[in-house]
Amino acid sequence: MTHENEPPPESKLTRSKERWAREGKFLTGKTSRPEDQRLPPGQHLTRDWPTLDLGLTPNISRERWRLDVYGAVEKPIFWDFAQFTAQPQSKFISDIHCVTTWSRYDNQWEGLATRDLLDTCRPREEARFVVLHSHDGYTTNLALEDFAAEDALLAHSWSGAPLEQEHGGPVRLVVPHLYFWKSAKWLQSIEFLAEDAPGYWEVRGYHNRGDPWAEQRYSGD
Q: Which residues bind ligand MTE (CB under 6 A)?
A: 49-54, 98, 134, 136, 138, 167-168, 180-181, 183-186
Q: Considering only 22-30, 99-107, 118-126, 165-173, which stretch makes contact with Mo ion by CB under 5 A?
A: 99-107
Q: Nearest CA to 131 among 29, 77, 199, 220?
A: 199
How many CB atoms are located within 10 Å of the residue 42 CB? 12
Q: Considering only 4-12, 27-35, 74-82, 179-187, which stretch makes contact with Mo ion by CB under 5 A?
A: 179-187
Smaller CB distance to ligand MTE: residue 134 or 157? 134
Shortest CB 183 distance to ligand MTE, Å: 5
Q: Considering only 88-96, 97-105, 113-121, 183-191, which stretch makes contact with Mo ion by CB under 5 A?
A: 97-105
E strands, the chain, in order: 2-3, 44-45, 66-71, 77-80, 90-97, 102-113, 129-134, 139-143, 153-158, 161-162, 172-174, 187-193
Residue nearest to ligand MTE (CB): 134
Smaller CB distance to Mo ion: residue 67 or 132? 132
CA–CA distances in Å: residue 111 to residues 12, 27, 60, 168: 21, 22, 17, 13
Q: Considering only 11-19, 50-58, 104-112, 130-138, which stretch makes contact with Mo ion by CB under 5 A?
A: 50-58
Shortest CB 138 distance to ligand MTE, Å: 3
Shortest CB 18 distance to ligand MTE, Å: 33
- Among ligand MTE, Mo ion, none, the one that 50 touches (CB under a kind-dependent 5 to 8 A) is ligand MTE
Burial of 85 (0-12, 13-18, 19+ CB in 10 A): middle
CB 134 within 8 A of CB 189: no
Smaller CB distance to ligand MTE: residue 92 or 180? 180
Which residues make up the interface to Mo ion (CB under 5 A)?
52, 98-99, 181
